[in-house]
Structure formats: structure tokens, C-alpha cells
Amino acid sequence: MNKSRFSGVLVPPITPFKSDFSPDHDAWIKHCRWLLNEGADGLAIFGTTSEANSLGIDERIDLLDQLISAGIDPKLLMPGTGCCALSDTIKLTSHAANHGVGGVLLLPPFYYKTVSDEGLYASVSEIIERVANDDLQVYLYHIPPVAQVGFSVQLIERLIACYPRTIVGIKDSSGDWNNTKSILDAVPNIAVFPGSEFFLLDGLRHGGAGCITATGNVNPAGIRQVYSNWQTSNADQLQARISEIRNTIQNYPAIPALKAIVAAFGDNPTWRRTRPPLEGLSETDSSKLLESLESIEFSMAHNSACHAA
């Protein structure tokens, strides 16, 4: 049986950038610490929300090194290591595994859009064989709305059958509960994480492991409450609250919106900066977003103190 090291609420931390668009290591480490202090069970660093595919290989290696050097337990980390180039993925995955991380989150090679399951199988297999680390734990990353290339249920089953000690979970960011449910039904022995807290409670009720969610950057404690109380009588009420917050935020582009919120509550406007080609949220939209959040009485508790210089 596959045994995942992760369960609960994992967050892909947003990445702060300096004026020259280089990563701001200090601000990033502070944000990662805050997320863990607020109840995140792990950090899916270098996810989509982290602008990972706007970061170079060396930048990701350096950020992981610095985070671990700062005292963050590598077992709490699930770095994204999937790239278009096989050699890049192997380099990032080997580096992460050698640090003893809890697992890696593996995007499929996503540039060529019409590849077959056979081609995707060959890619994942090659990565696992070349990394050749018995402690490697792989969480597949299915995000067709962005990557347009994904892992079919049949491919997931095949990979698990061939690598039962290594393929231990999947993040399903399809945004389709029916797809998540089909994975839960087909492979009940791996950790299935919906990619949105919208599906957290439903996922837990059907054997899911938790969720890996962008909005955890600003509401980790609230989302963690659902995970902690999913079998209680107020679970639906708690779920409704985190869905209300998510609904409000997702009226705007996710990454710029989350950065605008962290900038506002942390009183640090540099957090608004995104790396091109992404654009930051306009002042007008930022104001509208913050007003909408105020109208539903949302607040990032303790964020200002934790993000202070």
C-alpha cells in the first residue's frame, strides 16, 4: 500500500520579488514561517501560485536551500519539480530528494499538448529511474486548465502499479469534482488532494487527504479548521465560510489578487509585484477586492506582525 507523508492543508506560497524581479528570500521565508504557524500542514513550494514556471532552475534550487537553511523542516516541503525538459526535472527532483523533502509535486511535461499517455508514462518513469532515490515520494500534479496536459485515471493507475512505493499521491486541480471523485474511487490507497478548498469537505468525506490550495496563502487557519472539524456538526458551516472567501478572491486573477491581499494586510506594497509576463492587480481592482473582503469580515490574523521587517 502507498503511504503518503502528507495530509491536511498544504499551501503553494506566493513568491515576493524585488524591484529587479529577483526573489526576495527573506520575505519569502517569513511568509512560509507564517503559513506554518497559522496551521498549514505543509508547503507545496514552487507551485503554480508560486510563479514557479517564471523561476529559473538555479533560482528554485537556491530558494529551497535557503528555506531549509533557515530551519524549515524539509519533511514539511513538497516542492514542484516538473518542467518541460526532462533533464531540468531530474535535476530539481534529485536536489529536492537529496534534501529529504516530504515529497515532490510533479507537473507533466506541458509544452507539447498532444502527447499520449504512453509518452507521459515514459517521462515519469525516466525521472524516477534516473533520480534513483528509494526515499523519493512523487505527487502527480494534474492541472489541465493551465498545463492542458494531464494525468488520466488510467495513467495514474499504471504509474502506481509500476512504482507503488514512489507514486503516493496526486493534486487534482482540474476544478471538476467528478474528476476528483473518479480518482478517489479508482486509487483509494494514495493521497488525493483537491486543488481548491471548495472541494475540501467533499474530498474528506470520500477519503481524500486534504487540499493543496492557493488561497491558503491568506486563509490557512480558516481552511485548516475545516480539515480539523470535518466530522463535526458545524463542518458544513465552516466549509461555507472558506468557500465564501474563495469566491470573493477568485473574481480577480488569482496570483495578483493574493499578492495584493498580503501586501495590504502586511503593510508591504512590494508584495504586489509579480514577475513578467504576469501583471500586478491594478489599484482600482485592489481596492475593490479589499472592500469586498471587508464586507464579508475577512482578515489575515497576525499577518502584519509576522511579515514585518
222-270 residue pLDDT tens = 999 999 999 999 999 999 999 999 999 999 999 999 999 999 999 999 9
What is the rounded average pLDDT of the residues 140-150? 96
CB 40 within 8 A of CB 78: no
Give the orientation angle of helix 57-69 with respect to helix 25-37, to 10 degrees: 60
- Whose grid coordinates read 521587517? 309
DSSP secondary structure letter of residue 8: E
Mean per-residue pLDDT, 282-307: 83
Q: What angle do CA 215, 216, 222 make, to 5 degrees?
A: 105
Q: Give the helix ranges, DSSP H, for the chain.
A: 25-37, 57-69, 86-98, 117-131, 144-147, 153-162, 177-186, 200-205, 220-228, 235-249, 254-265, 283-295, 303-307
State whether residue 39 is helix, strand or coil.
coil
pLDDT of residue 301: 63
Rounded to an integer, the average pLDDT of 125-132 is 98
CA distance 12 to 35: 10
Q: What is the pLDDT of residue 304?
A: 41
Q: Which amino acid is located at 6 in the chain? A: F
Report whether pLDDT(302) > 90. Answer: no
**Of 156, 113, 118, 115, which Cα lies nearest the Cα of 138?**
156
Q: Which domains does the chain possess? A: 8-221 (3.20.20.70)
28 Cβ contact list (under 8 Å, min separation 6): 13, 15, 16, 63, 67
The 10s digit of each residue's pLDDT in 188-209 is 999 999 999 999 999 999 999 9
The pLDDT value given to residue 102: 98
Segment 280-298 mean pLDDT: 97
Helices 235-249 and 220-228 pack at an angle, to 10 degrees, of 150
Q: Which pTM was predicted?
A: 0.95
CB 22 within 8 A of CB 276: no
Residue 196 in contact with residue 211, Cβ under 8 Å? yes
pLDDT at 3: 75
DSSP 174-225: SS-HHHHHHHHHH-TTSEEEESSGGGHHHHHHTT--EEE-GGGGT-HHHHHH
When pLDDT is averaged across residues 157-176 and rounded to a whole number, the result is 97
The pLDDT of residue 194 is 98
